[in-house]
Each structure stands twice: as structure tokens, then as C-alpha cells.
Chain A
């Protein structure tokens, strides 16, 4: 690695101020720090620091997303051949899925990172690692048959309007990946819902076996009134149509284990989203006037994007509440609202995205009240002692 380091040191002056490629400084810096942890040492304050940094934090989240991604790739192929009625082996399915999914991932990363690099250069700071996660989250919440240009447009919207206008990673109000999805949903509703978009090839009218519907479980529930076609076990394992990464609750839980064990993701939020959703669903079961209300609470947990939202979206530390107590409240309300929107809004039977975006908006308010509580405790202590 010595040779590589020497080479970097040799070309480095060209990217510094006054050098030939001054305009690419941020880009150079991003790649340099990716290859080598910098040699900067602590100047004032603590002399030793925890080995954890933002790169590792974000890399851990990406790692946690890998099970969902891999399953999503396989499932894209599985669903495709199910729809076309062909018998295929595991590798054929995986290959077909990869053929569809990998380009989406690439488009998302390239679009987002180019924008990030440009903004970092304009602002004169280092490239933030936040997009490493967003760039993976965006493909995983999109339907597999989405046109690639839409991925690019949505990513650009999410990065610029969702993040950079607020000041970049750490400053945004909403989860950028969900913003990308919300943008597509409201800008191109015809593409983002219906019975064909979820299965690779269906939009182009590739052959469908008789009686096959490409609708998601929740979509089917709105029209047919039940989710009987999607057994609890199939839904948990993920053999159902849906966005690329959201179908397998098992793969998502694997990711959750990684996040919680490493301490990167908040178990408080995950737990309270599931608690809120489960209790809300139980409540609806008790009323039970519409078909959607009658979906068993446990089944709600494994359908649609609920688990994915709870584990990967609601826990985004920047857009979630930041106080410990606030996390319980925030997570619980995300769960409650997800199921509520799901049940009451037949036009769009998936509520997780909207619930999280709404609670992102209210997160600062929740934090405000938690902080006020702390201030009041302090004031009370002062007046008791006075």
C-alpha cells in the first residue's frame, strides 16, 4: 500500500488550492479518505478518540441492507418467472433479478454522488457519507419495473431538495430516500401503483399466466377485501410482490440485528414502531368494519413496507427524534399512523412512507417537549432548594 500512498501524495498538490485540478478537490479528498483513514491527530480536547467514524457508521447500515438487497434481487426474478409461468432454477432467477435491480442501484448512486460531490466542492467541505446509505435505500423502496430515468430524477430531487438545500447530511428534515419515493408517487402516480409495476417485465406486457395478478398484498386487499392469497409465512419470508427490498421481513430483521448489535440503529425506535403498529392493528381488528381492518395484526407487520420502514427508515437519526424519550413517542406514532393510513386510504394502501415523512416533520416538536421537560425539572430543583 506504500506505493499507492506515495502515488496519492505525489498527485495531491494538483488538487490543492492553486493546483491544476483545484475544482476536483472534494472529489479527490473523498477518494483519498476512502482509501486511507487520514493522518490528522487530535489538536485540542481529548487526545484519544473512539475508532468509530461516519464512514464506518454508514458502511454498517449498508451492510445491514445487504440481506434485503440480495433477497430483493432473487425475488425480482422469482416473481417474474412466476408471472410468466416459466420454471427456472435459483441462478436464473438471481440473474434476472440482478439484471433488473443492479442498474437501479447504479443509477441511484451515480446520480446522488455526483450531486453530493458538486455541493461539497461548492461549499468547500468534505463529502459526507450520508448518501452511501440513501443511495442504497432508494432502490430498495422502488418497484422493480421502474424506468431508470425516474430513478435518476427522484434521486436528484431527494438529494437537492431533500438534503442539500438544508445544508447537507445532518441538517435535513425528511428522510431523503423516502422523499425520493414520495416524489415519484405524487409525480408519476400511474407508474408507482397498480398491478404491473411490481413485477419485472409486466409493464412491458410480457406474458402473464392466466389468473395471475401482480398486485401487492395490500393492493389486493383493497380490491378483493382480504390478504388470503398471501400467507403469513410467505409474507414473512418475502415470496410476495412489492418494492425491491421490502418484501422479506426475515432479511430485514437480519439487518435489524446488525444495526442493534453494533449500536448503529436505535432499537427504541424499531421497537416502538412495531408496538404502535401492532396495537393500532389490534384496535382495528376489534372494530373490524372494513376488510382492511380485519387483516390480523401480525400479518400487518410483515406486509408492505412496514418492517423495512421501521428498521431502516424511521431510524434515520437525522430525521428522527434525537432525545431518548422522544424516540419512543416518535416510533410509536409512526407505527400507529402507518396502519391507520394503510387501512383508511384505499387510494394508496401503503401508509409507512407517509407516516414516517409526517413524523419526520413532527420530530423536532416532540424533541422540543422532551427538552422542555428537562428544563422544567431543572427549574423545579432550583426553586425547591432556594
Chain B
């Protein structure tokens, strides 16, 4: 067992509404959706028309730039609607389930006998390829690349995040099968595990290298773990995948059918009974929040966690990569002299609020910005919550002036939005750092390919 890697910088935001390790009961919804906006840089091309019948595993659309990468229906039924936004951009591809859950059969195969090409082919045709994402850039892996390694984070440190030990229990076999399949893609598979958790599923897995991490968020971010184990340099490609997706790949090979079952956690201060639920990828969130919300004021529903998730409406859908649904107050209210109040109930990393007197309190934070946007004034804030040797402020400034050389020199390859989300959280000037970083990454892709 390798030694424990201690992460010192970071921040655990103490939110109310953490789920215990219990399952809630809810009916599966009728509607499911795949949202092309979940995938950076993908331009969807529809394959079928509204009203056509689909099975689980039927192709809905593919990526214009990588036509081999297909996005499939998670359930059987019919294509109900293609929701478009401005300039006819496809936002949601909605499938109405017929409740039969029929799926296409891609054939049972013994993984040991397969070569790399066969594995790639199967992942592509069964719609499992988008699970693989690459660093740098945090985009869907490119089919022709050979990654230096594949990284999996076995725990999530984000606020109210699901406990993977709990989710993965019972999926050991599928997970091992998935790892066996991934081994055909890259020799090296690394799993980062929480030093303070048992992580039995991961420690019992064969053919992987384990790394133990200890510390506050973002220690559970795969990007931070890569940064500690093998930092990405120019030209490196590393792939990442989440544990549930590994198990889904495993099941695809052992059963022949694509597996879209997921376990999610529904949490947050505005959820009456935070709990875990069995569901299916892209499910409408209505059954999980129906009678489960405190409705005293406007609420914000988030697919994912409060740092990186995307806002959805109460008839919205789970994101492709999300295993979490969070509800917090919207906070769209004026607050009289709020900046001058002592602030006992406000969470801040600065001790100018008297909430430092109650360090163990959990907060009911809302989505208010708590102030106006300003030029960057305070220095040294970002570095305190970014456990990497990266000068975040200088990097963001390089992105803002579109200086590609500097962006590269200052380490843009090592970062994805989730890694700097805490910088955005603490920013006194309320900058939209995740957006800035994504703009920078898109510029890099455009200029350098």
C-alpha cells in the first residue's frame, strides 16, 4: 500500500442536509433526457426523429466532430422531443419511457480474449464511450489517443457528495470487469481512495494502483489526484472515469446489455429527507423531489453539487455525469445592510464574520452572490484552496488576455472547472472563474487542436 498523500489546502463547505446511508423509495419517472450541453465541445447531430421508437442503447445523436462517439437512449420507449434553445442549439433530447426497459443486445464477450480495438468498438457502439473523459481540457476522450494512464477517484469530497463506498457496495464484480476492460485501453489504472474510508470495493480490485488521499475538498477531485501522482505536462493525455461508469462498462461486457442504472444522492438544506435513490441515467428529477422539498421560499435545484453542478428546473433532468441532486434556497432577496451585519449565520473563510465562533455549524447557504462583481483586489485567496503548484490568479489573467503561451506555461493543462470551483467560491470580487477557465480551454482547443 502506497503512503498517504496529504492535501493541506482546500475547504470543506459545511452545508446542511447531508444524506445518511439509506435508500429512499421513488417510482421511476416517465421521461428521461440526454443533454448535449453536459459534454464540452460536442455538437450533436440527431439520428432519429421525434416519435420514433427506441430501445435502451439505441443511438439518439452523435458528435459532429467525432462521429464515432454516439449518445444512446437510457431507456426503451419513443423519442418525445428535441428541446432547442437559442439559434436552434439542442439542449435536451427527451425520451418517453414505455416502462418495458427493453435494451439492445451487444453480445456477451469474455474480456480477457479481446484486444484494444474490440473494446473501443464496443464502448463506442453501446454509447459507453462518453464515460471516458480526458485531461487536459476535461472533454470526452478522443478515440485515437492512447492515454498515459486512466484515473478514477474513489471518493467525492464536494459538499453533500455521495459516499462511493455505499453506492458501489454490491457492484464489486461489475467494477472489476470494467477495470479489466479499461486495462485494454491503458496499462496503468490509478484509483484515488479516501484514507479515512474503508473503500473495500476499490482495495479488493485487482490490476490497479491505489493512492490514499487525506484532506479537505478538492482532495476527491480526480484532477487534484492526477496532479499529485503524475502531473500533466504538455502533450500528456490522461483519461478519467467515475466508479459507477466503470461498473456500467463491466456490465456491458458481462451481460451484453448497456447498463444505465445509477445510484444518486438527493441532498441539501431544502430536501426534507436526504437519501440515496436507485435511478436511471438522465431521469427526470420530479419523483425524487415531489413531496420532498421545503417550500418556504424560492428554491434552486442543482444536478450535481453546489460548486460545479448545473441549475435545473423542477421538471429538469439529471446530468450525464452527475450522481447528486442538491436543493438550496435561491436567496433572491435583498438584505438590509447585509455587508455590515455581524454575520453569525453566514459562512465565510475570512473571519470578519462572527460565524468563526461556531466552527462546527452546518449552514443553509443560498445562491445569492453576497455582493457585486468587482475587479480583482484581494490577493492570495485562490492559492489557499487550490492544492496544486499553480498560480491561479496569474493563470486567469493570462486567459483573460488570451495569452496562449502563458496559459500553457502556468498550467492550464492540469485544471478543469471542478478543481478551481473553490477559488470561485472564495473570490471576494465574485469572478466567474469556471467560465473563464472553460473559455481559456476552448481557446486552446481552437488554436492548438
Contact = CB atoms under 8 A, between A and B. Distances in A.
Given A41-B330, A44-B435, A51-B370, 11 more contacts: A35-B337, A42-B368, A46-B307, A49-B425, A49-B430, A51-B343, A52-B350, A170-B374, A317-B377, A323-B379, A370-B391
A327 to B, nearest CB: 8
Contacts of B352: 52, 56-57, 60, 262-264
A54 interface: yes
Contacts of A1: 336
B389 A53 contact: no
A35 B336 CA distance: 6
Contact of A385 (B233, B302, B333, B335): B233
A371 B366 contact: no
Contacts of A24: none
B22 interface: no
A212 interface: no
B306 A47 contact: yes
A49 B434 contact: no
B338 A45 contact: no
Given A52-B370, A170-B376, A171-B375, A374 B348 contact: no
B377 A39 contact: no
Contact of B347 (A33, A51, A171, A386): A51
A52 B380 contact: no
Interface stretch (A106-114, A245-253, A283-291, A376-384): A376-384
B307 A322 contact: no
Contacts of A34: 337
Interface of A: 1, 4-5, 33-42, 44-57, 59-60, 126, 128-130, 167-171, 261-264, 266, 317-318, 320-324, 327, 367, 370-371, 374-375, 377-379, 381-382, 385-386
Instruction: Please give me the 9 A-B residue pairs with the lowest Cβ-Cβ distance, nearest first.
Output: A53-B371, A170-B375, A37-B338, A382-B233, A51-B346, A322-B379, A55-B339, A36-B334, A262-B352
B410 A374 contact: yes
Contacts of B389: 374, 377-378
Interface in B316-353: 326, 328, 330-340, 343, 346-353
A57 B378 contact: yes
Contacts of B348: 50-52
Given A45-B424, A54-B371, A54-B428, A317 B378 contact: yes
Nearest to B351: A262
Given A48-B367, A126-B372, A53 B428 contact: yes
Describe B's contact surface by its main secondary structure.
loop
Contacts of A4: 336
Contacts, number: 215
A53 B411 contact: no
A104 to B, nearest CB: 24
B365 interface: yes
Given A36-B335, A44-B432, A57-B428, A324 B380 contact: yes
A39 B424 contact: no
A38 B300 CA distance: 17
Interface string B84-106: 00000000000000000000000
Given A40-B368, A323-B391, A371-B394, A45 B351 contact: no
A40 to B, nearest CB: 5
A143 B377 CA distance: 29
A49 B331 CA distance: 11
Contacts of A169: 374-375, 377
B411 A263 contact: no
A180 to B, nearest CB: 19
Interface string B391-425: 10110000000000000011100000100010011
A29 to B, nearest CB: 9
A174 B349 CA distance: 28
A10 B440 CA distance: 42
Given A49-B425, A169-B374, A322-B393, A5 B334 contact: yes
B369 A45 contact: no
Given A46-B424, A49-B430, A60-B352, A54 B377 contact: yes
A185 to B, nearest CB: 27
A378 B179 CA distance: 31
A289 B192 CA distance: 64
B375 A42 contact: no
A124 to B, nearest CB: 13
Contact of B331 (A41, A167, A377): A41
B425 A46 contact: yes
B332 A53 contact: no
